[in-house]
Amino acid sequence: MADESTVGEVAKLYLGNLLYALERCALSLQEEGKPLDAAFYRGIGRKLADAHGRAQAADGPSPAP
């Protein structure tokens, strides 16, 4: 049977990696003299991070180990 993960599940699992890659992309674009393109990718990262923060807040505090 094929993996039936949703886009959201995969994005949540790899969120840190995705945010890192977006920032590396933005840094590269900034160095190429493309600040608007860099801002675009940083905006995507910010939206993902904010959405994750809202989801975490809605889930409530994590149980103590």
Taking the model in full, what pTM does it have?
Answer: 0.80
Residue with tokens 């975490």: 56
- Residue partners of 39: CB distance under 8 A and separation at least 6: 26
pLDDT tens readout for residues 10-59: 999 999 999 999 999 999 999 999 999 999 999 999 999 999 999 989 98
Does residue 1 register a pLDDT over 60? no
Tell whether the torsion through CA atoms of 42, 43, 48 and 49 is positive or negative. positive
Predicted local confidence at residue 18, as pLDDT:
97
Does residue 61 register a pLDDT over 80? no
For the chain, domain boundaries? 14-57
Residues 42, 26: Cα–Cα separation, whole Å: 6
